[in-house]
Chains A and B, each alone.
Chain A
Amino acid sequence: MSQMLDRPDFGVIAGWVKRGERVLDLGCGDGALLKLLIETRGVRGYGVDIDDANVLAAIANGINVIQSNLDAGLAGFVDGAFDHVVLSRTLQTVRHTQEVLGAMLRVGREAVVSFPNFGYWKNRAAVLNGRMPVSEDLPYQWYDTPNVRFFTMLDFEDLCARMNILVRERQVLDEQGRLVTEEHNFLGSLAVYRITRS
């Protein structure tokens, strides 16, 4: 399972998806997560991605992929069409954060969102040292990053509360992909949330 080694959040997400579920993967990249879920969980689903190379790679992986930006991509799906809607490491690249979260919970019973935690201690240390953070989960320079939203786990949980979104479960990983069990917003590099409408 090389995909799971490359992408530790995949293991967490796969653990939350039950056999035979319907899954929508937003920003699906080359379709590796959906492929993993199809092979190990027998799910049915679609990926959405805007990038030419990703769409081509997902098609080569045998994944149903829709080339679209997230807004238009979600508009095509009917309410409650999916058991899980996944947004893996993408929320921080989306400008219309609330709209996307709302749309995910419109088309899906439950959403799974993973994002780099800007509250991770190394990120805080970088800023204290006068530099924008660059790490395993934030691998970009400030001038070439696709990220447009910078938020911590606490910020995300605040937004969920404001939007009446219930956090069902969360798993937090460090840079090595190991589970963080305490001081999550300080020790966690990548956060994975299971959210639903409250």
Chain B
Amino acid sequence: MLIGFFLDEYVSSKSGSVGIVAAQSAHFDAPLELKSGAVVPAYDLVYETYGTLNAAKSNAILVCHALSGHHHIAGTYADNPKSLGWWDNLVGPGRPLDTERFFIVGVNNLGGCHGSTGPSSPNPASGKPWGADFPVVTVEDWVQAQARLADYLGIDSWAAVIGGSLGGMQALQWAIDLPRRIRHALVIAAAPKLTAQNIAFNDVARQAILTDPDFHGGHFYQHQTTPKRGLRLARMLGHITYLSDNQMGKKFGRELRNTDGGFSFGYGVEFEIESYLRAQGDKFADVFDANTYLLMTKSLDYFDPAHRHNDDLALALKPALAKFLVISFTTDWRFAPSRSREIVNALLKNDQDVSYAEISSNFGHDSFLLAEPQYHAVLSAYLGRVKL
């Protein structure tokens, strides 16, 4: 069958991992003025690269991360075999982001908590962690910071900028703000702005953190504590929105942890889904910074490139020179296919180059992280035609 032929062609059986990788760090001394008016006087960005930058420096792809992501996209660290990158299935020789052909750059965004300057970094003014004083960083600000990393790496124009969810929003913003520096924008499981429902979910997550007694107004570092309960709740809530109802039903159903099948008539962990969500929440609360979580969700809420163009998304996208690939997933209800269609329709209105694939997947918003064959085949086919 045709589909089999193409899948075989584009999902190479010879694909593999990038292997052992190491993070790097770049320091930037020039102050960065943010959209809010605040200024970050100096900052570090940690990043990883995979593959080789060609002589013309024309084969670089920037991977933008979503809410809880970071620069470690692919491979593992030498000292920790379990440290597989969060988008490893996409990056490597023969994989859609083919390191034999492309130079892949992953960066931890400003305000992050994985090594780049953020709320848990020392504030040069006080020597203490920034905490709640770290300014809110927007998608536009990230694009500016990422552009400085591109300058640092000698990359004038990205062959592509790719991201899922909040990462897709950054790819979109790149195309709008720096049209001559991005040749392809791959916008996956994203939306042109959040709905009231999206913002509502984010605010409940924020309230969980802000009302945790261990939050201490964002200055919990000085109190040798972290608002784990709040962060855990925030993650549990977020996690529900990343999965599809059907998938949850299939995976957990109404299964009870107690194998004798009886109810305990209490409030402990009882259903498998409760156990799963709590484990996810605990795992996340142990490693993620609460202030970064607040910042990331706020950045999502503020994202709305059409706002200053009379809510006309086509007008906002008009300066873009990039070609676009927009991808959505059928069971994604956080950023449903209809939200991707808004982006597509705005591009169509402008007669801009765009392809759109709606991937059948049972895994909700999280689908963008998974290796659905049609999804990866589409990415491979598209990137295979990107001229270097």
* Chain A residues packing against B (C-beta within 8 Å): 22, 44, 46, 52-60, 62-68, 72, 76-78, 81
Contact = CB atoms under 8 A, between A and B. Distances in A.
A44 B351 CA distance: 9
Given A52-B3, A53-B6, A60-B384, A76 B354 contact: no
Contacts of B6: 53, 56-57, 60
25 contacts: A52-B360, A53-B6, A54-B2, A55-B357, A55-B378, A56-B374, A56-B377, A56-B378, A57-B2, A57-B6, A59-B325, A59-B355, A59-B357, A59-B378, A59-B381, A59-B382, A60-B385, A64-B355, A65-B355, A68-B341, A76-B341, A76-B344, A78-B349, A81-B348, A81-B351
A181 B384 CA distance: 45
B358 interface: yes
B353 interface: yes
| The 4 A-B residue pairs with the shortest CB-CB distance in the complex, in nearest-first order | A53-B3, A76-B345, A60-B381, A53-B2
A46 B348 CA distance: 9
A67 B358 contact: yes
- The CB with the most chain A CB atoms within 10 A, among B325, B345, B355, B382, is that of B355
A77 B348 CA distance: 7
Interface of B: 1-3, 6, 10, 325, 341, 344-345, 348-349, 351, 353-358, 360, 374, 377-378, 381-382, 384-385
Nearest to A77: B348
Contacts of B358: 67-68
A46 B354 CA distance: 8
A56 B355 contact: no
Contacts of B374: 52, 56
Nearest to B354: A64
A59 B353 CA distance: 12
Contacts of A76: 341, 344-345, 348
A68 B358 CA distance: 8
Given A55-B357, A57-B6, A66 B348 contact: yes
Contacts of B353: 64
A62 B385 contact: yes
A4 B261 CA distance: 66
Nearest to B324: A64
A71 to B, nearest CB: 13
A56 B6 CA distance: 7
Given A44-B351, A59-B325, A66-B355, 19 more contacts: A53-B2, A56-B3, A56-B10, A56-B377, A56-B378, A57-B6, A59-B378, A59-B382, A60-B384, A62-B385, A65-B355, A66-B348, A66-B354, A67-B356, A67-B357, A68-B356, A68-B358, A76-B348, A81-B348
